[in-house]
Amino acid sequence: MRALNPSQALATTMVDELARCGVTHAVLAPGSRSAPLAMALAGDSRIALHVVIDERSASFLALGIAKAGRRPVVVACTSGTAAANFHPAVIEAHLSRTPLIVITADRPPELRDTGANQTIDQIKLYGDAVRLFAEVGTPETRPEAPRYWRSLACRAYASASGSPPGPVHLNAPFREPLVPVAGDGDPLELGGRADGEPWTSVGPSRAAPSEAGIEAVAERVAASERGLVVAGACDIDPEPVLELAHTASWPVLAEPASGLRAGPNAVSAYNALLHHEGFAARNRPDFVLRVGKAGLSRSLSRFLGPDVPQVLIDADGAWLDPERSIDAIVAADPALLCGEVAKALPGRITSPWLTSWQGADERAGAAIDNLLDADDAVSEPRTARDLARHLPNGANLVVASSMPVRDLDSFMAPRTGLRVLGNRGANGIDGFVSTVLGIALATTSPTFALAGDLSMLHDANGLMLARTEGVDAVFVVVNNDGGGIFSFLPQAEFPEDFERLFGTPHGIDLGALATLHGCGHSRVEYASELPEALSAARNEGGVQMIELRTDRDANVALHMRLIGAVATALD
Ligand SMILES: Cc1ncc(C[n+]2csc(CCOP(=O)(O)OP(=O)(O)O)c2C)c(N)n1
Ligand SMILES: [Mg+2]
């Protein structure tokens, strides 16, 4: 492997080494300073390259690919504000522990801070959000240079996929010539280990649970009859955790993106149940085992106060405790640890504790279904419930921030065969379309999304991918013409400026947006039409939008009626 000039040498070596490490997807936003990277990425057959004009969309596309594929994805851009547009996705990758390798092209030092075009300070641009920052240095033709580049690429890969996984930032200045034409010296030999091996490989970094950790948790689980598993967004093997709940006869209160809302112990309607003060008071647990980042249900957050003994198990020992009430954090893979604990437990055959939760959940579920099925009107809760119910086994369901993720949490019945994902690290409504399309590109599973109209519009540029890549995804868009969530918040009591400041109606025709980008669009006018619309959209292929129009005020009223119906069913 040889290169004609230093810039080409650096880019080609880095890309080769990243492919050796295991990178299979890269996303590139166009520019000139990044030309060496662009050409190296395009020239490497091990890497699928996706080119996206808008850097914010590009970085969220990379994020989606990395979330779905669970391995580092490269995202590269030119110098200047282009690099700043990656910041939201870098933050989401940081907080959701998603491996990303961000490579920003830069001007060489002599052009910085001089008024040179497209030159900003890119050093440590993303602050503490990255696991590793490296100023790669202006490429040169010393024979040792490729060894440094290879080692750095391996380190970037290892840091991105380490414990905790996350984004890394390589800032790479390039001097002209930027394209493969002869430079000053002789062509440079780029080296590399034999047989396509990486220069330095790093072993798995997430440690197996210790004996002491297993024993400590097993003891507390064994001592607690009134225990609960509470699960928030995470990416773990759900089976051993569910097995533990089953053996201990404990209810499982799981957000859909935990993968744990499955099996007989899963309680779907916990949000409504815990709204009921009597129920919450009667059903206080004596121990809670927590995994993942919970926090969608306010009633659950209130319920999990400091008086409830709680242990969080997290692979990286992350401090996921906004209520400041957890009394122990165990740094271990939750699946491995729970598997061991389940084996060590004697098991409980009958448990009035579990049956009381299950009975309440059944009554609550029936009350909710009765109300939602009383007529055929489209509603936000019913859309969430029915979407989760009707998706085929093996599907991805990507859920947007704001009410979609909350409605899914409140109304999705337990089931297996669905992988639920979302941007739950920073809860942004940005980058949603691109995240979904990244997930669709990275898996062979049919991909569906539940979006609000503003999340859809926020990343409307993400839809540009529909014309440039053969990607299939179905967006179910709940269009309430603005931010429906704000109608649930105290600012709704101040009607004067509410619409302008919070509701933000836009009146945009989503069908026209779909047409602009060559996407399909259909409307569902009656709730019962959704299943049919889903299979039609999936069969159509490409990027499809299914729009359901709702009313924000009516939505609040319905949510209140649902909480009331559950309370009546419990009393
Ligand atoms: C990037 C970003 N900007 C602003 C917000 C604040 N925010 C939270 S929810 C929301 C409204 C979302 O509206 P939509 O997607 O239509 O969902 P709905 O609330 O109607 O269910 C906004 C603006 C955010 N979370 N992320
Ligand atoms: Mg909305």
> pLDDT tens for residues 52-108?
999 999 999 999 999 999 999 999 999 999 999 999 999 999 999 999 999 999 999
What is the predicted pLDDT for the residue at 347? 77
Residue 98: the pLDDT is 98
Could you report the per-residue pLDDT of 156-166, keeping only the tens digit for each?
999 999 999 99
Of 430, 450, 454, the one to substitute when testing ligand 1's pocket (max ligand atoms within 8 A of C-beta) is 454
> Reduced to 3 states, what is the DSSP secondary structure of residue 455?
helix
pLDDT grade for 349, boundaries at 50, 70 and 90: confident
Contact 94, 106 (CB under 8 A): no
Which residue has the least CA distance to atom 24 on ligand 1?
428
Expressed in angstroms and rounded, the spacing between residue 488 Cα and the centre of ligand 2 is 12
Residue 354 has pLDDT above 70, yes or no: yes
pLDDT of residue 205: 67
Listed residue (112, 100, 113) closest to 60, CA to CA = 100
- Residues with Cβ–ion distance below 5 A, ligand 2: 452-453, 480, 484
DSSP state of 116: -
Which segments of 134-263 does DSSP mark as H helices, in order?
Answer: 145-160, 211-223, 238-248
CA–centroid distance, residue 500 to ligand 2 (Å): 14
Nearest CA to ligand 1 atom 17: 452
Instruction: Give the chain's end-to-end CA distance (angstroms, integer).
Output: 75
For residue 214, is pLDDT > 90? yes
Angle at 198 between CA 197 and CA 202, to 5 degrees: 120
| CA-based nearest residue to 405, from 558, 548, 271, 227 | 271
Characterize the bridge pairing of strands 100-106 and 73-77: parallel
Q: What is the pLDDT of residues 361-373, one digit of tens each?
A: 999 999 999 999 9
pLDDT score, position 350: 75
CA of 453 to the centre of ligand 2 (A): 5
What is the model's pLDDT at position 123?
98
- Give the model confidence (pLDDT) of 461-498 as tens digits: 999 999 999 999 999 999 999 999 999 999 999 999 99
Atom of ligand 1 nearest to the CA of 427: 25
365 C-alpha to ligand 2 centroid (Å): 25
Q: What is the per-residue DSSP string for 503-538?
A: I------HHHHHHHTT-EEEE--BGGGHHHHHHHHH
Closest-CA residue to 335 (of 253, 413, 260): 260
Centre of ligand 2 from the C-alpha of residue 505, in Å: 9
Pocket test for ligand 1, best of 402, 502, 513, 545 (most atoms within 8 A of CB): 402
Which of 63, 401, 435, 458 is the pocket-test mutation for ligand 1 (most atoms within 8 Å of CB)?
Answer: 401
